[in-house]
Chain A
Amino acid sequence: MTAVASRELRDGEVVFVGIGLPNLACNLALRTHAPSLVLIYESGAVGAVPERLPVSIGDPALVTGSLMVCGMADVFQLFLQNGRIEVGFLGGAQVDRYGNINTTVIGSYAKPKVRLPGSGGAAEIAIHAHRILIVSKISPRTFPERVDFVTSPGQRVAKVITDKGVFERDAATGELVLTALYPGVSVEDVRAGVGWELRSRSTLDCVEPPSPTDLRLLREVLDPKGLYLKG
């Protein structure tokens, strides 16, 4: 999933990096096909080259050796709202049929069953980044027909990268459509993990497995302790 996500990043792009798998994917791209990728963290580090895997989005390793460190007003106004961010990575507790993301509450807002952390920068990233990538494992809980709360709207979602297949947003209907499968996975396997009648594109691509270089970098260099890569 991480290697597949990293392939979506093009060399020279400016990417707003989230913590966890997106961070791994960005750092993998930086070390393989996209050496000029510019990583911007919402904490204010621009052109960061973290020498260790940051546990938090405000890790001191993001500062050391970066190209620029700015305050958060600059991050949101001069970079994001200015339109300088090409790719934004988001995840969420729920992603729905139209790519809307919920990171706020499960249940009602007034009386939540589960109180989640909230938006952080996700609402404005979803609105301003030119292309949104979502990375998430498939399960009916994560992919309901409708999210309980729209934290981040789905209109700029380009791809949803899961552990079984890849969805893209249909330009006409705005709906997420299955466009690629991992080797050995059937359409039915994916549908079983999605809470709506998932449509498939007429011809499905096959997701290339990670290369030996990808695997070595991920397991030995980027996440040697297995903080984010489990199993």
Chain B
Amino acid sequence: MSLKDAVTRFVHDGDTLVIEGFTHLISFAAGHEIIRQRRRELTLCRLTPDLIYDQMIAAGCAKKLVFSWAGNPGVGSLHAFRRAVEGGKLELEEYSHFGMVARFSAGAARLPFWSLRDYAGTDLPRANPRIKSITCPYTGESLATVPALNPDVTIVHAQRADPQGNTQIWGLLGVQKEAAFASQRVIVVVEELVTESVIRSDPNRTLIPAAIVSAVVVEPWGAHPSYAQGYYDRDNDFYVAWEAISRDPAALARYLDEFVYGIPDRATYIEQQPALAKRLTARAQVCAGVNYGF
């Protein structure tokens, strides 16, 4: 399925949407397609909104943001996010990383909430009344609780999948497994489509099984400027450049015109920037493999 078709079919106005990936494997391709299709009133959830949600907020896709750390890692601020919050234009529901991970874990296990030892002495429960506490029925200890997060749709970028959607990821794993299992619908976007026999040759590497996948999309370089371990490096230069772009609303609008609205798809985005492959393609460092025999 094309990314265009997958977004048309599975991402709707008003949805609670998750594009996960902790620094690694963030589906910028899907975010751009959602911007192009002008989805509105989305509740965007992610631990780290990153540049992709900054762009989606700037493009007017977001009604609300559910998150735990909203910055440009190692660089500074997400300025579209800041303008929206400081101008009172974006609803926030804020946790810590552990709180967000726990929300996905509850959602994935189909429990109503998750308990964790957290938030004592912080102001976060006052800022977010959905962070509550319970008394443990066994020990009497007071534990923090966070509600399950069950998104309408979760989009995960991965190194490879088979046509049925059995999806393999290596490198940083973030919270993709929990987010996918918590979701009603799952779109997997991959660098490479492989045969089922490739997946079967290394089953421990499968993070997401076909049974929970709604659509498989092949989109090489679909995570750029994020990265895919073993395929291409993170484009740190672009993350640094985003500081000036996002600070200036006119520059941000020009960026969206040139790299999102003005082009039909990811393939064009990559053709537009021929230097990327030379600068960022990963060098090989292949592991020895293991014996699965019995």
Contact with B along A124-153 (1 / 0, CB 8 A): 100110000000000000000000011111
B98 touches A69 (CB 8 A): no
CA distance in complex: A166, B8 (Å): 57
CA distance in complex: A43, B173 (Å): 8
A198 within 8 Å of B (CB atoms) = no
Residues of B participating in the A interface, judged by any CB pair closer than 8 Å? 22-24, 47-48, 67-71, 73-75, 77, 81-82, 85-86, 88, 94-98, 101-102, 104-105, 116-124, 126-127, 170-178, 227, 229, 233-234, 236, 239, 282, 285
B22 touches A72 (CB 8 A): yes
CA distance in complex: A124, B175 (Å): 17
From B74, B96, B170, A19 is in contact (CB under 8 Å) with B74
Residue numbers in B under 8 Å from A57 (CB-CB): 23, 73-74
| Interface of chain A residues 47 through 77 with chain B (CB within 8 A) | 54-60, 62-64, 69-73, 76-77
Residues of A participating in the B interface, judged by any CB pair closer than 8 Å? 19-20, 42-45, 54-60, 62-64, 69-73, 76-77, 80-81, 100, 104, 109, 111-124, 127-128, 149-153, 155
CA distance in complex: A59, B120 (Å): 31
Q: In chain B, what residue has the closest Cβ to A42?
A: B97
CA distance in complex: A124, B233 (Å): 30
From A72, A109, A128, B175 is in contact (CB under 8 Å) with A72
CA distance in complex: A152, B122 (Å): 6
Would you mind naming 27 contact pairs between A and B with Cβ atoms under 8 Å apart?
A: A43-B172, A43-B174, A55-B239, A56-B234, A58-B24, A58-B172, A63-B171, A69-B172, A69-B173, A71-B173, A72-B97, A72-B101, A81-B117, A81-B118, A115-B82, A118-B71, A119-B68, A119-B94, A119-B95, A119-B97, A120-B48, A120-B68, A123-B98, A123-B122, A150-B122, A151-B122, A153-B121
Q: Is the interface of A mostly helix, strand, loop or mixed?
A: loop
Residue numbers in A under 8 Å from B88 (CB-CB): 111
CA distance in complex: A170, B116 (Å): 29
- Closest beta carbon of chain A to B96's beta carbon, Å: 4
Residue numbers in B under 8 Å from A150 (CB-CB): 121-123
From A20, A59, A70, B23 is in contact (CB under 8 Å) with A59
A80 touches B239 (CB 8 A): no
Residue numbers in B under 8 Å from A117 (CB-CB): 69-71, 77
Q: Which of A42, A55, A64, A100 has the largest count of B CB atoms less than 10 A from its CB?
A: A55
Q: Would A124 and B22 be within 8 Å (CB), given that A119-B124, A151-B123 are in contact?
A: no
Q: 17 more A-B contacts (CB under 8 A) besides A43-B22, A73-B104, A73-B105?
A: A19-B73, A19-B74, A20-B74, A42-B97, A44-B22, A55-B74, A55-B239, A56-B23, A56-B239, A60-B233, A71-B173, A72-B22, A72-B97, A115-B81, A118-B96, A119-B69, A153-B120
Q: In chain B, what residue has the closest Cβ to A64?
A: B285
B116 touches A81 (CB 8 A): yes
A121 touches B98 (CB 8 A): yes
From A81, A100, A114, A119, B96 is in contact (CB under 8 Å) with A119
CA distance in complex: A151, B124 (Å): 7
CA distance in complex: A19, B76 (Å): 12
CA distance in complex: A62, B229 (Å): 11
B173 touches A44 (CB 8 A): yes
A128 touches B68 (CB 8 A): no
A76 touches B122 (CB 8 A): no
From A42, A45, A109, B123 is in contact (CB under 8 Å) with A109
Residue numbers in A under 8 Å from B81 (CB-CB): 115
A118 touches B23 (CB 8 A): no
- Closest beta carbon of chain B to A170's beta carbon, Å: 17
